[in-house]
Structure 1
């Protein structure tokens, strides 16, 4: 039954696949419980059912599956109860089980501790273990650290060989130069442990403008996390579009000529969710308020002309109206731009220069919840190099199920 369900899913028959996984799960098959839970979590092949997903994962965890525990921890990040210590234990259990997404997530948590040699060594070792188990992104992150001597002496030859192996297998990932100082959030876990709750700790924002309300925080995301977002988005980049107000269709728009990728939550792993959790918390909100994370790339000459992020009533009505309007926007620059590419707020006379890991937080609505015209902003043309940016639009009320 499990193999039949998997075959159905590969053919795009999500609804019968989910039903088949559910039947296989009742027979005690751990893998079926996990796959059913993943579909129920994200509303694939039926309605979203977090209770059923959690129950299936809990059964699989009791049967000894560390991978099931990993997914319970992943769900907790969005629900806001990530502070529970058992989720840290679940992540470490999945690390001991050599589950690649867990290895990568733990690596990035250790990697944020710039001044801790043991943590930096752990980051490299975990990335190497994930890469050895086929994690292409972990391999590319490892190669970048080896190339730049992050957490180790520079090893350009080893890095080049690893990148060459990835390219030879059709897994080419081009990363821009990315360097970030010590993160704004200093993870407080013991040297040999991880703490998912550190991603939810508040950060100190630097106010840049009172009207519109704009603030920034440097090094919100680490270099590893910035590279992760670029690597995750790169295969899905498409010419940017906007939604036509009358038809509701995505169409080209003269306002923007970048490329972008919207990252489907169904494909998110724990490392990616933790990066978004940091972004949401910088805005003072839970991740459940966030739309799908969008990663944008601007080539030389490309720009995003003056615009506002709040939604029209028609756009709200088409996309989860119960979530309300876009209350706040968080943008994180993923690299430093050689020239150009600043974010301008004309009403405030403000221009923010891209710097890797720097987050920009601004309100789209006024204190009464009405659209704020002064939130007009623009991405100025890139004059040299390229610009990578991650944007998380946060609604007034929950947008995601978890």
Structure 2
């Protein structure tokens, strides 16, 4: 019955689309994309219908078309076409399009790589009062992506996101007030921030809140509790302030943004606490240059074992980055058996836990910066890196013995060529069990938060290394969260025909 109804809908939408109905073209495109992926007749028709509406300056069609093209790297000129349509929507000051175009500037896909251009696009989006984009901007400012590093400005943007209720920003600020990054050190404010983040179940916020509870004085604990409650009350009452100012969720445009910004600033200033002022001139000037745990501090790769070639890199991810990746992936976790069109679909036969793949539409400046760091460690281009994925192991979950290189039957026609290197990083380490074991070498590596492992799947001559057989031992206590990817011999962002011509 549903199939018949869908067929009727598609036929009706085709007629409307052919008569120039842009809304019908968008809905038809959505239905066709649900029916078939890249290479199918449904996909080809969906692209045609969306291009028809996009050419008539239909914003929703332009954005959907760009989102689809940005995820189909095998399609000739897909990246350039995606960038074109993102730019068309970004010129209307659309925040999502600005952010996605910024991502393309970060990766050099469809446009020339340019961190300054990426920063400019993301700042334009952040200024429209979107907390997540404000956190993205703060991260870029903190790490000097597209600019000179400016920890003080980064703190201000995190505070703006917090003023709108961002638990991610609260966690970031907890770390910053704890170590004095872009603001004076203040244990009470740090604990208050972690309390706010914990209220939204942000990863690891409870751990840090409890850690500070053990080292703060009774006066600091009291100060932290009161401040956290005042912040929560202020955030809860913000919608009433918007309503009183005549601002609704549907309002957009420069005038609406200016009104929202003014309301947020005025409402936050009513807290009358210089320590968390949006104006950096009012905050403590006792800021330090320290980075950890806000900024990652990876050293050079250290040899773990020689056969197979395995290297370890401590402190590869910062506390903020690890928590961010967990928060990004947790809502999307699924059993390996449910994966489809995944680069490692075969792993459903080996892995008993859950996982999430961080596709192009989920990537932000944090993910892109991590990819760059991986590329440096592996000494291979970032464009050779598979989309990152996150694995979660709970009690008794295992990843049975397997190799990550592509066998000849899987290598033939594989986009990106051979998987030369595997990268994993512990986002969380279990209290017991869960070691990564290299079976032929009879060697196991116990995890610790932030520890990265690089192992080579191939020998220096490019042939598969059978010594790279590895597994994960069962988790006995706690949970194990891994960030995982593989680095290929060729770019994963080239059309299939071009990639084959290069071999």
User: Do they superpose with TM above 0.5?
Assistant: yes
Is 1:146–1:156's contact at 8 Å kept on the other side of the alignment? no
Unaligned runs of 5+ in 2: 1-20, 35-42, 180-185, 209-291, 496-503
Question: CA offsets per residue over residues 37-72 of structure 1, 9 Å max, x none?
Answer: 22222239x876122222223344455556544323
| Distance of aligned partners of 1:284 and 1:209 in 2 relative to their CA distance in 1, 3 Å threshold | same
Structure 1 counterpart SS, 2:484: strand
Residue 22 of structure 2 contacts residue 53 of structure 2 at CA under 8 Å; is this kept in 1? yes
Are the aligned partners of 2:194 and 2:206 in contact in 1 as well (CA < 8 Å)? no
From 408, 417, 422, the counterpart of 1:329: 422
CA–CA separation in structure 2 for the residues paired with 1:234 and 1:302: 17
Aligned to 1:97: 128
Deviation at 1:385, TM superposition (A): 1.1
Residue 391 (structure 1) shift: 0.6
TM-aligned CA deviation for residue 329 of structure 1: 0.7
Instruction: Report how far residue 299 of structure 1 moved.
Output: 1.4
Identify if the C-alpha distance between structure 1 residues 212 and 123 changes in structure 2 by more than 3 Å, giving closer, same or farther: farther
Residue aligning to 1:142: 169
Are 1:108 and 1:224, in contact at CA under 8 Å, matched by a contact in 2?
no
Count of paired positions? 364
Distance, in Å, in 2 between the alignment partners of 1:364 and 1:173 is 35
SS, match of residue 391 in structure 2: strand
Q: Contact conserved, 1:173 with 1:234, CA < 8 A, in 2? A: no
Greater helix content: 2
Q: Does the 8 Å CA contact 1:226/1:334 hold for their aligned counterparts?
A: yes
Identify if the C-alpha distance between structure 1 residues 184 and 234 changes in structure 2 by more than 3 Å, giving closer, same or farther: closer
Unaligned runs of 5+ in 1: 133-138, 167-171, 187-202
> Closer, same or farther in 2 for the Cα pair 1:142/1:96, shift >3 Å?
closer
Provide the rounded CA distance (Å) in 1 between the counterparts of 2:348 and 2:117.
47
Task: Using structure 1 for the length normalisation, give the TM-score.
Answer: 0.74
Cα pair 1:104 1:271 within 8 Å, conserved: no
Q: After TM superposition, list the pairs within 5 Å mapping 1:79-98 onto structure 2.
A: 79=108, 82-98=113-129
TM-score normalised according to structure 2 size: 0.61
Aligned residue in 2 for 1:212:
308
Take 1:399 and 1:392, find their aligned partners in 2: how far apart are those partners? 13
The corresponding residue for 1:136 is: none
Does residue 71 in structure 1 map to residue 100 in structure 2? yes
Pick from 347, 351, 355 the counterpart of residue 448 of structure 2. 355
Cα deviation 1:182-227 (Å, max 9, x = unaligned): 64459xxxxxxxxxxxxxxxx6222223332221222222222212
Distance 1:34 1:358 in 2: 38
More RCO (CA 8 Å, sep 6+): 1
The CA distance in 2 between the partners of 1:158 and 1:222, in whole Å, is 18
Given that residues 139 and 365 in structure 2 are in contact (C-alpha distance below 8 angstroms), is that contact kept between their aligned partners in structure 1? no
Per-residue deviation at 1:117?
A: 6.3
Higher strand share: 1
The aligned residue for residue 394 of structure 2 is 299
Equivalence for 1:22: 51
Deviation at 1:330, TM superposition (A): 0.8
Q: 1:121 to 1:84 in 2, by over 3 A?
A: closer
**Residue 154 of structure 1: CA displacement?**
5.0
Report the CA distance between 1:87 and its aligned residue. 2.4
Q: Is it true that 1:224 corresponds to 2:320 in the alignment?
A: yes
Task: Measure the CA separation in 2 of the matches of 1:396 and 1:125.
Answer: 42
* 8 Å CA contact retained: 1:212, 1:348: yes
| Structure 2 residue aligned with 1:39 | 68
> Counterpart in 2 of 1:118?
152
CA RMSD of aligned residues (A): 3.8
